[in-house]
């Protein structure tokens, strides 16, 4: 069993194109021999955002702290602590911090897509 | 895309044997056509606990609120907001609320095991 405070797990800068102020902590991954899915924590600084993109795998997201929006490039929906977001495969999405504090959320993906 | 506050998703009593004061919300599941894994939120009342058991699939857990312990039946480890727990397949585990408020956590499992 692995038991850790999330703060013990390093926050690494995310340097995808069209990304601003985003860090990721790989809380549970293939390094833990997790067989099916990986749990990551994203931290988005104020005015930061993830890329507006699409891919073959899904996201399962839970917002822990902060305020922001999720958008498909057309419509924006507000997200805050306690919001659940399911992004199906091949659906365009972007997360933006619209608040004055860090936007922190869990985002899980299939392990087979966790090196992409 | 599914976007919901977790409170909009019904908390159902868990009536496994040797379980006390536990409710579950299926935040993302096969009903959302999630192909690989299901996101559930568990709410354990003070003095409540999940069964001490084992099974073929893993758990990926993130503690949201409250205080408790996770145990393999021998050793107990404290858990609180921000604790990450990875329970590998076939490893014995139990979650107990040792605090005076609800112990609330996310627990994800493979979708193929989500009807068990």
Position B40 in a domain: yes
Contacts of B64 in chain A (CB under 8 A): 64
Q: Which of B6, B35, B87 sits opposite A84 (nearest CB)?
A: B6
- Position B33 scores a pLDDT of 97
Q: What is the ipTM of this complex?
A: 0.96
CB contact under 8 Å between B33 and A2, yes or no, is no
CATH code at position A92: 2.60.120.10
Position A43 in a domain: yes
The conformation of residue A30, written as its DSSP 8-state character, comes to G
- Position A12 scores a pLDDT of 97
Tens digit of pLDDT for each residue in A33-55? 999 999 999 999 999 999 999 99
Number of domains in chain A: 1
Position B10 in a domain: no
Q: Which of A39, A86, A89 sits opposite B2 (nearest CB)?
A: A86
Which residues of chain B are under the pLDDT cut of 50? Answer: none
DSSP-assigned letters across all residues of B9-27: SPPEE---TT-EEEEEEEE
CB contact under 8 Å between A108 and B108, yes or no, is yes
Which residues touch B98 (CB under 8 Å, ≥6 apart)?
B67, B68, B69
- Position B113 scores a pLDDT of 80
In contact, A42 and A107? CB cutoff 8 Å: yes
CB contact under 8 Å between A62 and B39, yes or no, is yes
Per DSSP, what are the bridge partners of residue A95? A70
Pairing outcome for strands A12-13 and B12-13: unpaired
Quote the CA–CA distance of A67 and B41 in Å, as a whole number.
Answer: 21
Question: Which residue in chain A is spatially nearest to B69 when comparing CA positions?
Answer: A3
Question: Coil, strand or helix: which one is A113?
Answer: helix
Tens digit of pLDDT for each residue in B73-88? 999 999 999 999 999 9
Q: Has residue A115 got a pLDDT over 80?
A: no
Q: Which of A3, A33, A83 sits opposite B85 (nearest CB)?
A: A3
Position A4 in a domain: no
Quote the CA–CA distance of B93 and A107 in Å, as a whole number.
Answer: 24
- Position A17 scores a pLDDT of 86
Q: Which of A6, A36, A82 sits opposite B7 (nearest CB)?
A: A82
Position A47 in a domain: yes
Domain that holds residue B104: 16-110
CA distance B17 to chain A (A): 23
CA distance B51 to chain A (A): 16
In contact, A83 and A65? CB cutoff 8 Å: no
Position B85 in a domain: yes
Q: Has residue A116 got a pLDDT over 70?
A: no
| Biggest CA-to-CA distance, chain A | 43
Position B25 in a domain: yes
Q: Where are the alpha helices (DSSP H) in chain B?
A: none
Question: Which residue in chain B is spatially nearest to A111 when comparing CA positions?
Answer: B36
Position A56 in a domain: yes
């Amino acid at each position: 069993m692995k038991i850790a405070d999330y703060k013990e797990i390093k926050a690494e800068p995310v340097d995808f194109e069209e990304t601003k102020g985003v860090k990721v902590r790989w809380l549970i991954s293939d390094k833990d021999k997790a067989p099916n899915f990986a749990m990551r924590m994203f931290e988005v600084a104020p005015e930061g955002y993830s890329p507006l993109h699409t891919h073959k795998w899904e996201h399962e997201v839970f917002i822990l702290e902060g305020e922001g929006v999720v958008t498909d490039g057309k419509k924006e929906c507000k997200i805050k602590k306690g919001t659940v977001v399911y992004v199906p495969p091949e659906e365009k999405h972007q997360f933006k911090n619209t608040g004055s504090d860090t936007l922190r959320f869990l985002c899980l993906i299939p392990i087979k897509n966790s090196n992409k």
